[in-house]
Amino acid sequence: MDNVISPENIVYQKPTLLNDNDMHYCPGCSHGVVHKLIAEVIEEMGVADKTVGISPVGCAVFAYNYIDIDWQEAAHGRAPALATAIKRLWPDRLVFTYQGDGDLACIGTAETIHALNRGENIAIIFINNAIYGMTGGQMAPTTLMGMKTSTCPYGRQADLHGFPLKITEIAAQLEGTCYVTRQSVHSVAAIRKAKRAIRQAFENSINRRGSSLVEIVSTCSSGWKKTPIEANKWMEEHMFDYYHVGDLKTI
Amino acid sequence: MDNHYSNTSEVLLMKGNEAIAHAAIRCGCDGYFGYPITPQSEILETLAAEKPWETTGMVVVQAESEVASINMLYGGGGSGKRVMTSSSSPGIALMQEGMTYLAGAEIPALIVNVQRGGPGLGTIQPSQGDYFQATRGGGNGDYEVIVLAPASVQEMADFVDLAFELAFKYRTPAMILSDGVIGQMMEKVVLPPFKARRTEEEIRRDCPWATIGRTPDRKPNILTSLELRPEAMERHNLELQAKYRKIEAAEVRYEELLTDDAEVLIVAFGSAARIAQKAIDLLRAEGVRAGLLRPITLWPFPTLRIQQLAQQVRGILSFEINAGQMVQDIRLAVEGRTPVRHYGKMGGIVPTPDELIATLKSDFNL
């Protein structure tokens, strides 16, 4: 049986850019899968020496501990401003941000909208799990109506909390965006599609085709207080209803 | 003025704000990121009119806010580029978050503050009310910012390169703290000689920490101010403090006028120092032996020199266009050795030499 482990028998390999550090993410969290896809895409494109990632404030703040590329860690919401400057100053680089819904769609709304509207040649990976994960499950701008969080314990209601923000739909309206899509990573088929979307966004950055936004509708089993399997099911039944998966803009 | 990029030492006449812009283009600045606010909008306007992206390759971006501007500096400075922003007091208030992140992640950048009166939206008239904001910082945590205070249009031009050199030498943000007087007034100026922007090879050599893409021969570069392990965070803080002590030992800058025989000392920076110069001329004509110490670096502060002069004079007057801010640093330096008073005006009113003289005489029974 020893000869089973040989190069010609390899059907799958962890991307070398993804290091062996133990991830701090909870079981069932979508971040790990998306990290792996990003590492795979950078490796397949052969651009590790030309890539700068911007990590957010939130659960993915430590993204730089897992993917072995150059990183800057931004203040909460400001990742697109950092990315703007890096890409303007180093036009041949692949520059991407990795942001959650609180970071991108709440505190960083201005930076997000204006970077996209200027058509900065950057890619934004947007993890939307409808909750603040890192701080312990508070309401996010994308929290669904009726959804319970620690700061809307009786469920999100319009008169108190307003409505869940479809910022990706807004992004698609902006002249500066060339590619806006909404994906998920809850099944093998979805993961494959999400990987193609990330690749497209990264190529757009390298080729200076304008701004790309890839939203990944994600689970947060800890914040949602569900098992990973329940969380995936709940996402399919509730999140996809409001956040429709698919391309919103391809130019 | 049709060839700003030559190495001529032609004497030009321009505003302090314009001098900053021209100096930036000439001293190898890679990028400017800013948001309009009075009384400093000429900096962005001059850069936009000069189109340096067609000559030196310098990038100029009008950002969506001061918050975005300062974070663009984090991105750009973090990639080893000489990047700057400019604003005025309320805009600099908005940048305080970014300033502490720059300090924490040890990212070099230049911030220009052309001060106006406050608090709040305040006034568009000149003030030095941001001394505390600049030297104490409005950001969180233990950090310092190198602060240079120009007193002429010439120094506005000269301090751009100096600030970049200091920022990169110590991997820390540096500020030019000017005010509406220096920014708006026109004076003779000789622009600095042209200096080329650094190449990628030079940046890789000089800034091995820069995040510009990881080459196979090195580990990933990560710029962050976050560290959750207390021992590691304490170590980082101790390293920052050691760096600040080094800056304090090596980078104090000041100028003295007639201090050798002075019986009374005026301490003033920026535009206030110009007014103090005139007052000292008038006092000397009357036979009063007044001298001036003008701090050029507000942090690090010329503490030792002020301590020495405190032994010699009957009193020190801190003359500032504010309610009395630098006077605290003078009192900390003097430690009660000699009386220390403050004189200043607020609200955008610039005091006259006569008012300063009258105060000095009454404070110290001259």
Indicate if B285 and B184 belong to the same structural domain: no
Q: Residue A6: what residue type?
A: S
- Asked if residue B245 belongs to a domain, the reply is no
**Contact criterion met (CB < 8 Å) for A68 and B81:** no
Q: Specify if B205 maps to a domain.
A: no
A181 close to A195: Cβ distance less than 8 angstroms: no
Q: Which of A84, A92, A107 to mutate to test the interface with B (most CBs of B within 10 A)?
A: A84
Contact check, Cβ <8 Å, B79/A69: no
State residue A5's pLDDT score: 78
* pLDDT single digits (tens) B192-217: 999 999 999 999 999 999 999 999 99
Give the end of a domain, one of B172, B200, B228.
B200
Q: Name the residue facing A70 among B33, B64, B212 (closest C-beta).
A: B212
Same domain as B34, residue B138: yes
When divided into structural domains, chain B yields a total of 2
Q: Are residues B33 and B101 in the same domain?
A: yes
Quick one: pLDDT band at residue B2, thresholds 50, 70, 90?
very low
Residue-wise pLDDT for A69-98, tens only, equals 999 999 999 999 999 999 999 999 999 999
A-B contacts at Cβ under 8 angstroms: 128
Per-residue pLDDT, averaged over B7-32, amounts to: 94
With a cut of 60, say whether residue B366 has pLDDT above it.
Answer: yes
pLDDT, tens digit, for every residue of B64-106? 999 999 999 999 999 999 999 999 999 999 999 999 999 999 9
Residues B324 and B175 in one domain: no
Classify residue B227: in a domain, yes or no: no
The CA distance from B240 to B258, in Å, is 37
Which domain CATH number covers B351? Answer: 3.40.50.920
Q: Same domain for B277 and B190?
A: no
Q: Are residues B36 and B140 in the same domain?
A: yes
Q: Is residue B225 part of a domain?
A: no
In this predicted structure, the answer to whether residue B5 has a pLDDT above a threshold of 70 is no
Put residue B157 in one of left, alpha, beta given phi > 0 → left and psi -120 to 50 → alpha. alpha
Tokens linked to B331: 């009192």
Indicate whether B143 and B287 sit together in one domain.
Answer: no
Shortest CA gap A84–chain B (Å): 7
Q: What residue numbers bound the domain in which B333 lies?
A: 254-364
Put simply, the answer to whether A72 touches B212 (Cβ < 8 Å) is no
Q: Is the domain of B166 the same as that of B284?
A: no
Residue B206 lies in a domain: no
Q: What is the ipTM of this complex?
A: 0.96
Q: Tell me whether residue B210 is in a domain.
A: no
pTM above 0.90, yes or no: yes
**Exposure string (b/e) for B81-113, b if CB count within 10 Å is 16 or more?**
bbbbbbbbbbbbbbbbbbbbbbbbbbbbbbbbb
* Domain-located, residue B234: no
CA separation for the pair A120, A208 (Å, rounded): 8
List the one residue out of B276, B299, B291, B284 whose CA is nearest residue B355: B276
Q: Are residues B64 and B188 in the same domain?
A: yes
Residues in chain B within 8 Å Cβ distance of A72 = 74-75, 78, 105, 211, 222-224
- Parts of chain A with a pLDDT under 50: none
- Set out the domains of chain A in order of their start, with CATH numbers: 24-250 (3.40.50.970)
B88 belongs to a structural domain: yes
CATH code, B61 = 3.40.50.970
Q: Using a CB-CB distance cutoff of 8 angstroms, which residues of chain A are in contact with residue B223?
A: 71-73
Give, to the nearest 10 degrees, the angle between helix A109-117 and helix B66-78: 70
- Phi, psi (rounded to 5 degrees) for A146: 80, -15
The answer, yes or no, to whether residue B129 has pLDDT greater than 50, is yes
Claim to verify: residue B178 and residue B317 sit in the same structural domain: no
Same domain, B297 and B171: no
Same domain for B167 and B89 = yes
Residue of B75, B97, B225 lying closest to A85 (CB–CB) = B75
pLDDT at B1 over 90: no
